[in-house]
Structures are given as structure tokens and as C-alpha cells.
Amino acid sequence: MAFRREKSAPPVQEAPAKVGGKGRATPTRKEAEAAARARAKVPRTRKEQMQAQRATRAESSRKTREGMKAGDERYYLPRDRGPVRRFIRDYVDSRFSFVELVIPLLLVILVLGYTGNQALVNASSTLMLVTLLLTVTTILLLRFRVRRELIRRFPDESLKGTTYYLITRAMQMRFMRMPKAKVKIGEQLPDRYR
């Protein structure tokens, strides 16, 4: 019996991997048509329409919140956009101010006022007066300093609405501010904001 020697097949060369591919299989026609029908399905009842609108709003607000937290200026409200507003945010966020404590202090004053004890009621009214005076003084000083810096840094920019923006930012507690603070307390601010 003679043994036949089989020819060995030439080695198979692997095709080079495609760089930048889409990373998933192409859907079949049936799958693509089903997906298109699902996207084109129009809600028939009022309840379905409201659910679709609610889902769209929820997705939009989720994207906006994530963009604001990430610091993407495209997702900021119009009042928060621009180099002047960014400077005001950074200026307020880089300093600790008595004004941040106003809301918790007012809650304490409110509780003291409703205790019924005359001494505590008198103390709460005195504390309220001191809080009011310190708040007004702090805001006026902050406005004066920020206005001077804005005139120096942005000589040809309009400063309309900056005082209101400054006060509303300063009155919020640091963890509640939106857009989130990007500078730490005591951090040196950059010279250029363009």
C-alpha cells in the first residue's frame, strides 16, 4: 500500500484589522425597517403624546445638567455665558463671604423667633438686624471690588446686569451654585478671560 502525501494548504494570511470601524454589525434589513417604524410611530392618544413629550424633556434636561456640570458653555443659560460672567463666577467662588451663610442664619433666626421665650425672641431680632447690616455691607464691598476689576479687565464690554448676577451668585451657598464652581477658595485668578 502506497501512502499518498497530501499537499499542505498555504498559510492563511489574516486581513489587517480595519481602523476606525463602527464597532458593531450592520443591521439586517428587517431590523433596520423595524427600527425606522418604531421611530416613526406617532402617538395616537393624548396620554401617549404627553408621555413622549415628557420623555423628550427629561432627556433634554438631563443632557443640559450633565453639560453644565462638566463646564461646557454650550449648555449654560444665556445669563451665564461669556467671559465677563465667567470672571464674576470665578471671583465670587474664589472668596468665602459672609453672604453665603445668610440662608442658614435666617433659618436659625426664624426658629429662635418662634420659641416663645422673650429673651430668645429679642436675640433673634438683634441677630436679624446684624445679619442684614453685614449682608448689605458685604454686598456693597463685593460689588465695588468686582466692578473695579471688570472695568480694568473688560474696558469695552457692557456691564449691564453684572451687579444682579454677582449678588445672586454670592447669596447662594457654594454647593448649590450652578454652574458649579471651578476655582477653589483662595485660588489666584488668571489675568485673561477671553
Q: Each residue of 124-176: pLDDT tens digit?
A: 899 999 999 999 999 999 999 999 999 999 998 888 999 999 999 999 998 88
All three cell numbers of 155, joined, read 474696558
pTM: 0.68
Instruction: Count CB atoms within 10 A of the CB of residue 127.
Output: 17
Q: Which of 34-43, 81-90, 177-186 has the lowest mean pLDDT?
A: 34-43
Residue 68: its pLDDT value, please? 83
All three cell numbers of 25, joined, read 454589525
Residue 1: its pLDDT value, please? 55
Residue 13: its pLDDT value, please? 64
Residue 86: its pLDDT value, please? 92
How far apart (Å, rounded) are the C-alpha atoms in residues 90 and 187?
9
pLDDT surpasses 60 at 23:
yes
φ/ψ bin of 109: left (φ > 0), alpha (ψ from -120 to 50), beta (otherwise): alpha
Indicate the pLDDT class of residue 39, thresholds 50, 70 and 90: confident
Residue 85: its pLDDT value, please? 93
Q: What is the mean pLDDT of residues 19-35?
A: 83
Q: Where are the alpha helices (DSSP H) in the chain?
A: 29-40, 46-70, 83-93, 102-113, 118-153, 162-171
- How many angstroms from the chain centroid is the CA of residue 169? 13
Q: What is the mean pLDDT of residues 62-66?
A: 88
DSSP labels, 2-53:
PPPPPPPPPPPPPPPPPTT--SSPPPPHHHHHHHHHHHHPPP-SHHHHHHHH
Between residues 80 and 69, the one the model is more confident about:
80
Closest Cα to residue 191, out of 73, 72, 83? 83
How far apart (Å, rounded) are the C-alpha atoms in residues 139 and 164?
11
pLDDT surpasses 90 at 94:
yes
